[in-house]
Amino acid sequence: MNVSGNTLLQEMQSIAFEAGNTVGNQLPIKESSSAEFSSLLKNALDTVNELQQDSKQKVTAVEMGDRRVSLAEAMIASQKSSVAFEATVQVRNKLVEAYKDIMNMPV
């Protein structure tokens, strides 16, 4: 994977580390803001978009017969793009599920 492909993975690993870094039932003491979360989410979505654009360009180059791009490169870029998109969909599903759980809580 290249640097931009690793960015999403690194961000997800850091979130998982922070989530697992709790003492008892207490939340970790760290100041966080919605701006940090939105920035993190935007960066992750931008990374997925870049991977999709790169994949599209490489597949088009292979289809047009460009010898500078191999079929293997195009397939790897396509798979990276697919995995990143699937991870994004799973994160979205978890966020929607958490939102629904919160909305269904009695006040």
List, for residues 51-90, the tens digit of each pLDDT value: 999 999 999 999 999 999 999 999 999 999 999 999 999 9
* pLDDT for 38: 84
**Is the Cα dihedral 64, 70, 75, 80 positive or negative?**
negative
What does the pLDDT average to over 36-41? 85
More confident residue, 18 or 65: 65
Number of domains composing the chain: 1
If pLDDT is split at 50, 70 and 90, which confidence band does 17 have? low
- C-alpha to C-alpha distance for 17 and 33, rounded to whole angstroms: 18
Task: DSSP for 2-67, please give it.
Answer: -HHHHHHHHHHHHHHHHHH--BTTBPP-----HHHHHHHHHHHHHHHHHHHHHHHHHHHHHHTT-T
d(CA 12, CA 45): 12
- How sure is the predictor about 1, in pLDDT bands with cuts at 50, 70 and 90? very low
User: Which residue range(s) make up the domain with 82?
Assistant: 3-22+29-103
Tokens of 41: 């989410």
**Is-contact 74 58, C-beta < 8 A?**
yes
